[in-house]
Structures are given as structure tokens and as C-alpha cells.
Amino acid sequence: MLTDISSRSLTPWDSSVDTDVNRNPEVIVQANCLHSMCLDSEGQKDLRLNSIPIRHQILVLRREQKGCSLKYKLEKQWVTFGCTCVRPAVSYVSY
């Protein structure tokens, strides 16, 4: 179902799998925005809108082994789970 939503979105994305055996969870799926611009209803790039990632910070457990000692450390990790359309940021320059 995720693939279906991505392909119908005005900001389509694909997914990649981030695997780390020393992290819990070991597998985290990350979204990757396919375009820097959003698409219009015809599927053409709309230069008036930018496509940006939607990110969320999660807590993961990192396994660390030092000699015979095994420890787990709580860490924060950013996960991208989709993309959205926004108006471009505009900077005004005064002369």
C-alpha cells in the first residue's frame, strides 16, 4: 500500500532500507524524495512548489561492545518517512 500512495503523491518518493546489526531496531525504512519540485495534476514539475522530506526523530538502542562488556546506549536518529509540497522560501535583499 505504501508504494501506491507514493506513486499517487504530488511529491513521489521511493524507499531504502537502513540496516545496522548494532541498533535496535536493526532495520529502518527511509523515504527518499524523487524530485526537488512537486508535480502538477498532469505529472509535470510545478516550479512554484518545492518537494521536501518529512522527518521525525526516533529513539534507538545502540549496542556497544568493549572487550567482554556489552552495553546499550539510547540514541536519537532522524527518519524520513515521506515527502510534502511547500512554497519556496523567499529571501528579500534590501539595497
Domains of the chain, CATH where assigned: 2-75 (2.10.90.10)
pLDDT on residue 3:
56
* DSSP-assigned beta bridge partners for residue 53: 83
**For residue 85, what are the contacts with CB-CB under 8 A and spacing of at least 6?**
10, 11, 38, 49, 50, 51
Cβ proximity of 26 and 64 under 8 Å: no
pLDDT for residue 91 is more than 90: no
d(C-alpha 84, C-alpha 67), whole Å: 46
pLDDT tens, position by position, 28-45:
999 999 999 999 989 899
**pLDDT interval class at 66 (50, 70, 90):** confident
**pLDDT interval class at 46 (50, 70, 90):** very high
Average pLDDT along the chain: 92
Please tell me whether the overall predicted TM-score, pTM, comes out greater than 0.85 for this model: no
Determine what percent of the chain is predicted with pLDDT higher than 90: 76
Beta pairing, strands 37-39 & 69-86: unpaired
